[in-house]
Amino acid sequence: MALEPGRLWRSRFKNGLQTLLIMAGLALVLSVPGYLLAGASGVLLCLASALLAVYFSGWIPARLILANAGAGLLRPHQAPELYRVLDILYRRAGLEIAPLLYYAPSRDLNAFAVGSRHDGGIAVTEGLLRALDLRQLAGVLAHEVSHLRHGDTRVMSMAAAMTRLTIWVTTLVQISLLVMLPLVMAGELVVPWLPLLLLALAPTLSTLLQLALSRNREYTADLEAAALTGDPHGLASALDVLERYHGSWLTTMYGRYQPAWLDWLRTHPPTETRIRRLRALGARPRQAGPPPVIRPPAEEPPIILERPGPLGGRYWILRR
């Protein structure tokens, strides 16, 4: 399966433009409490602190999560089929580093990219390996390879750092206002109500922008995953399994028709929309392109010949 000419590039351009606008919005929201705290100097200090936080948070948080989860490194001889698929996906994506696959002994159904395209890998959970077959896993791995390829981990770390910094600076300004409350009550200090209203909304706006950024990059990752595997139905099938697992509590709480405002709080776009787009790709006549990584049907799940032990926090913190 090959995407029609220009579609992938249009998606990348749209993704990049939306990312730029959302990051500008995050910077603007961050500047509000910074300005109230120390004027123009506060804005510059907040933005400089965000850049510094990005440098350190780009790789530490995900690895600390893996360390706390007792994750281990899956070697090629422990999961030969998965590494064969991953090697093909890396070559098609133009990644020159050796594939690395990490294993987390969690029952949750999850997979995520760790690090960057120059020093990164993909983590999968025990629950995911048990729930999906090899064809479905190929689609999920291709999705995460796309995240590695375009540095999505770094971008999301930047957005998270700016959101956290917005919350911290907002809290600091609020504490300062409480300290100066006697001056306000005595009429010696005029309260700027409009900036204070923006200050109250800043953490919420920053969080919503961060979630929008995450949803924005997921659509492009789906499209690229379909191009890498040559099999959009594999990823669509995997998303269907994940939705039944992760979305069951929402169905229990809200029923079949969930309120529209929930979409604003999602880290990923609605799964039904993602599945519909992928199946639409698979329904088009096949064009010239790479053959599918896994040819259907794949009836048996991949066998993990040996589960690795945890690597420990020292490995995750010191490794670059």
Tell me the catalytic residues.
144
150/211 Cα distance (integer angstroms): 18
HSE on the CB side for 88, CA within 13 Å?
Answer: 19
1/285 Cα distance (integer angstroms): 8
Q: How many residues does the chain have?
A: 320
C-beta atoms surrounding 156 within 10 Å: 20
175/156 Cα distance (integer angstroms): 29
Residue whose C-alpha is closest to residue 143's, from 215, 213, 219: 219
Alpha-helical regions (H) of the chain: 7-57, 60-68, 80-93, 126-131, 134-149, 152-179, 181-185, 193-229, 232-246, 248-254, 271-283, 313-318
Longest dimension (CA), the chain: 77
